[in-house]
Amino acid sequence: MRSKSSPSPVVHRLLVSVAVFLLWFGSISFAPGRDRILIDSGWRFQLGDPVGDTNLTSSVTNYPEIYYLPKLNSDEFAGTGSETYLETNRIDPVATHAGESVSFVQTNYNDSAWRALDLPHDWVVELPFDQTAAMDHGYKAGITGTNSANTVAWYRHTFTMPANYSGQSIWLEFDGVYRNCLVWLNGHILGRNVSGYDSFSFDITPYANPGGTNVLVVRVDASRFEGWFYEGAGIYRHVWLVDANPVHVTHWGTCVATTNLVGSNATITVQTTVTNQGGATTVNGTLTSTILDANSNAVTLVTSNLTLTAGQGLVDADAGGGQCQSLVATDAVSLQSGFHRQQCRRPSGCLQHHLWCADGKI
């Protein structure tokens, strides 16, 4: 399945207050649309770590955490059991090149004996029942809140990346992995994501092989519980491969807030983070934010000029002195369905609202 945005602005639906539903889009005048490809098909799965692999060190297997994740207890505010102390004892997987010598991570590793499957996948639901296992997690064998032979698994995915991704910014988006996963691409560690309840992304531009074979590897450690209910384990949501022009709106780089609402009239502030991941080129361009009504007619828009040096990220500000773009919408009220709630990751200076967002990101 492939979802490709056109060179014209990408529409992104946002409910910015409980009464006002608006269509909003941002565009950079010099940047083409981005490609977002679902890569759920054709994975390989193996339960358990590689046996006897001396390269499987504590930088991969050890991640100190508070002893009871579902709720912070009073004795975890300070001392050796506190998050502050544990954080100082955690190994940076990228700085230490964690796991890059492990057999399962090698691009030439033969995974033909592994189980073939498509995502999303939960391996716990497939386990047999065991009356001695955790009741609140479904009496599944080996699922007790501590490490066992059934709590760690690996995924591998070999795929060909489109050749036209060369020279682009490329990243991976994971909609959900339970839990504590490490990710490698073409033998290089990308990083760790711990929580089983958030989506995350990794920039893979330095390691990607456009037009050629790429090997994506994920180790999942579901030994710990985050809740007091069935949680499962594995890559239980979609995985996406995304490319964009080196100058682009960053992943989750848009923030919209209602700063004033009187009847059917609303003032909307829009804050957009734009980055230039290109070479040594300084780029000049414009960013336009437009509000559309329920019939996709433009209600109002505002345009800002941008100058970004190579490697620079910029939070767009209007010409009035570093504030969010402000747009006024009159009678732009309609009722939409099919929205889900999503927390906006905001740069400083934007109001802390929850947004309701439709699928798809600019």
Task: Check whether 22 has a pLDDT greater than 70.
Answer: no
**Backbone angles phi and psi of 314, in degrees to 5:** -135, 130
Task: Check whether 280 has a pLDDT greater than 70.
Answer: no
Q: How confident is the model at residue 279 (pLDDT cuts 50, 70, 90)?
A: confident
CA dihedral of residues 160, 164, 169, 173 (deg, nearest 10) = -40
Residue 84 neighbours by CB distance under 10 Å? 10
Written as six digits, the tokens of 234 are: 């594995």
Task: Check whether 356 has a pLDDT greater than 70.
Answer: no
Give the homologous superfamily in CATH for domain 2-33+246-357: Immunoglobulins (2.60.40.10)
Which is more confidently placed, 359 or 98? Answer: 98
For strand 2-4 and strand 35-38, is the pairing parallel, antiparallel, or unpaired? Answer: antiparallel
Task: Check whether 183 has a pLDDT greater than 60.
Answer: yes
Written as six digits, the tokens of 285 are: 């361009």
Task: Check whether 346 has a pLDDT greater than 70.
Answer: no
Which is more confidently placed, 178 or 288? Answer: 178
Which residue's structure tokens are 């190994």? 91
Residue type present at position 84? T
Q: How confident is the model at residue 272 (pLDDT cuts 50, 70, 90)?
A: confident
Lowest-pLDDT range of 113-122, 155-164, 215-224, 287-296: 287-296
Domains 2-33+246-357 and 38-244 share a fold: no
Q: What is the domain partition of the chain in residue ranges?
A: 2-33+246-357, 38-244
Task: Check whether 296 has a pLDDT greater than 70.
Answer: yes
Which residue, 165, 175, 173, is CA-closest to 195? Answer: 175
Which residue, 237, 284, 217, is CA-closest to 122? Answer: 237
CA dihedral of residues 106, 112, 118, 124 (deg, nearest 10) = -80
In this structure, what DSSP letter does residue 140 have? B
Which residue's structure tokens are 């770590």? 49
Q: How confident is the model at residue 315 (pLDDT cuts 50, 70, 90)?
A: low
**Backbone angles phi and psi of 229, in degrees to 5:** -150, 170
Is the domain spanning 38-244 CATH 1.20.1280.290? The answer is no
Per-residue pLDDT, 219:
98
